[in-house]
Structure 1
């Protein structure tokens, strides 16, 4: 982001190879143990397959308003469980994560894009949300059966 600022969205940083690519996701920006890797490599070839924990989605941030919050401290062996749980709770209970709107459940597109990580179905997503939902959202989710709508805000999170 800093190398390309000012931009309105991370999607405006079109440095990935390929004619139909957008964003920085596939650009080989880092070297790990001698291998050049992209952001997609880190998320989809390393973190998700190795850890198999859907809460990883609350730790990854793409600099967009639709993303989960950045945590105020680094992940360590001692605090990972605490931070992943706190990240899930904060995101799910924010309007960016999940909210009832006109009788429908509107969720972040993260839950659609990575539905396989959240039980592989809309019911699995709702079950996951219920683990962390609080108050009125939790009450609504307990009996919700009407399918999901999704949206995502790619605007740059400049805060």
Structure 2
């Protein structure tokens, strides 16, 4: 009898976790659609009515995700990162830049999926080293204009790969690069995380050409332009 009770409890617990995760993705999708437009965030409106954001993060605190369940895990932590950035801005609002707030990335903690984590923990401990996917840099949005744009929808496990591809292509063919003849100037992101863009013996130009419509010469000279840390505000 005890065996069957344990199985029953396990099944119920698993179902509840799945429901919580599905609810989180659904509510996150609604939130981003309502508050993000053309990559800019409606911080004024969220600051006046933060209830939906706070409820989302309260739900995220109770969620359980496993690294082995890669799509759910990655989608959860990408959304959790972007929502936490917005929460960090709102908690310090009005502000002109995330950098105006001491410890924004490495000291302020958020209670998510049973962990107390900083934004840097999510990016540099829970995502980058575990999956070694440079496309994360195009979906983790730090609240600044220099970041690749935040999309007005949640990242979902069922569409995650397509979303990662789309955002990477959008950045590489957009403001992430400045190309003039044989000279290429890239966002500082490519300098800060050069190891992510040169894995397995590839060059940065190789990564760029994988996603760029108009290919760049292998001999192109690569430099980096300054990062715009101004707030990505509507």
Query: Normalized against structure 2, the TM-score is what?
Result: 0.57
2:205–2:218: 8 Å Cα contact kept in structure 1? Answer: no
> Partner residue of 2:183?
104
| In the alignment, structure 1 residue 7 sits paired with structure 2 residue 95 | yes
Task: Give the CA deviation at 1:10.
Answer: 0.9
Matches within 5 A, 1:1-159: 1-14=89-102, 16=103, 24-95=104-175, 97-101=176-180, 103-119=182-198, 124-135=203-214, 138=215, 141-159=216-234
> Partner residue of 1:20?
none
Task: Give the CA deviation at 1:13.
Answer: 1.2
Which runs of structure 1 show a deviation greater than 6 angstroms over 4 or more consecutive aligned residues?
Answer: none
How many Å separate the matches in 2 of 1:58 and 1:26? 20
Task: Give the CA deviation at 1:100.
Answer: 1.5
Pairwise CA RMSD: 2.0
Name structure 2 gaps, 5 residues minimum. 1-88
Q: Point out the structure with the larger helix share.
A: 2
SS in structure 2 opposite 1:147? strand
Task: Give the CA deviation at 1:52.
Answer: 1.2
Per the alignment, do residues 100 and 44 of structure 1 end up closer, same or farther by CA in structure 2, a change over 3 Å counting? same
How many Å separate the matches in 1 of 2:170 and 2:222? 23
Q: Give the structure, 1 or 2, with the largest relative contact order (CA under 8 Å, sep 6 or more).
A: 2
How many Å separate the matches in 1 of 2:158 and 2:107? 32
How many Å separate the matches in 1 of 2:180 and 2:100? 30
Task: Give the CA deviation at 1:147.
Answer: 3.1
Structure showing greater Rg: 2
Name structure 1 gaps, 5 residues minimum. 17-23
Query: Normalized against structure 1, the TM-score is what?
Result: 0.82
